[in-house]
Structure 1
Amino acid sequence: MEWAAVTATALGAIVGVLSSSASDRLRWRRDTSEKDRETLRTIYAEFLDAVTQARNTISHAAHDRNDSLEVRARAARGALTEGGVYEKQYRLELSAPPGVLPLAGNVLAALLTLRDVVRHGASPMDAEYNVAWAKLYDARTALLGAMRSSLQR
């Protein structure tokens, strides 16, 4: 009878330790997952912010008809580097899931197209400018959808 009590106690202790360990593991995994999701959300926001700043700089250069074409072209040319778009893109490439990366590339390509259109003298009244603007808008919208999907639980 003594061995039965000792065995039952030992078995109870083992079950308790294993269930506590499993519970701690699940809690750790949930906390890590939430932290990773928050980090990714920050990276997404930083990239989108940099793209928006560059787009706004390019747009201002296109709208400012008081400056010479050379001054507007210089402002458009520097928009991506001043806004840190490339740095934010590199960080995004290291962390984002594969489904997001091509869409981020599409946004960058559309932003570069808009920049080039403005560098060559297009204004918001020109069809070429409006087509480039629309492509950037569509690419950004698709990227936002993929980003939202990747952040869902």
Structure 2
Amino acid sequence: MAKAVEPGQSSETNVYIWQAGDWMSWLPAASALLGAIIGVTSTLLTDRLRWRREFSDRQLSIRRTSYRDYLVALASWRNGMRETAYNPSLSIEERRDRTAQALIDSQAYERRMEMLITAPESVVRESEATYKVLKKMKAPIAGGLLESSTEYRELTASFEERLQKLRASMRTDLGVQNPEAGIGYPGIIPE
């Protein structure tokens, strides 16, 4: 049987008997350890929250840039086709070349692919619908459709309507208050 010994004494089998007040010698070390744990944990949480906020800001910036580039590309493509529709002296071959070149120069197809990977589903749905309406204008204009025709005005009105919905969905995704503000006023995309 082991016998109890006082601190500082040795025996074959040492069994230390805790005395009142012995735990107090550990209190400063335990407090320091607890303080270090709290400090490290709060630093890690703060860093994580900062990283999340910065990541969210970067994603928003990427989407904003992508949206802007896509809208510019659609406007460029549409303007290239509009120039063709306003020029009755062009041959059918020249009209085909110009409408094809308008798509290439605008980079609308490339920006469309960018939208597919950066935008949420609601914006992708609207961007695809807008792209398809604009693409639907290409063949008639290449085939000789002029700006004075009713069909051209209907196609243009259809595009404008889709474009308004696209801009509204983009503004909603970007968190713009009142996403419909400024959309649909005459002269945004002049004829």
Q: Distance in 2 between matches of 1:131 and 1:74?
A: 23
- 1:10 aligned to which of 26, 33, 40: 33
Pair 1:95 & 2:121 matched: no
Structure 1 match to 2:74: 51
Q: Distance in 1 between matches of 2:99 and 2:90?
A: 12
Displacement of 1:114:
1.6
Structure 2 match to 1:120: 143
Matches within 5 A, 1:3-152: 3-152=26-175
- TM-score (structure 2 length as normaliser): 0.76
C-alpha deviations, 1:96-140, integer Å up to 9, x for none? 111111111111111111212212222111110011001111111
Displacement of 1:21:
0.7
Contact 1:58 1:76 in 2 (8 A): yes
- Could you list the runs of 5+ residues in structure 1 that have no partner in the other structure? none
Contact 2:95 2:143 in 1 (8 A): no
SS class of match (2:140): helix
Q: CA RMSD in A?
A: 1.4
Displacement of 1:9:
1.4
- Count residues with an aligned counterpart: 153
Moved over 4 A (4+): none
SS class of match (2:146): coil
- TM-score (structure 1 length as normaliser): 0.94
| Bigger relative contact order, structure 1 or 2 (CA pairs below 8 A, ≥6 apart) | 1
The percent identity for this pair of structures is: 29
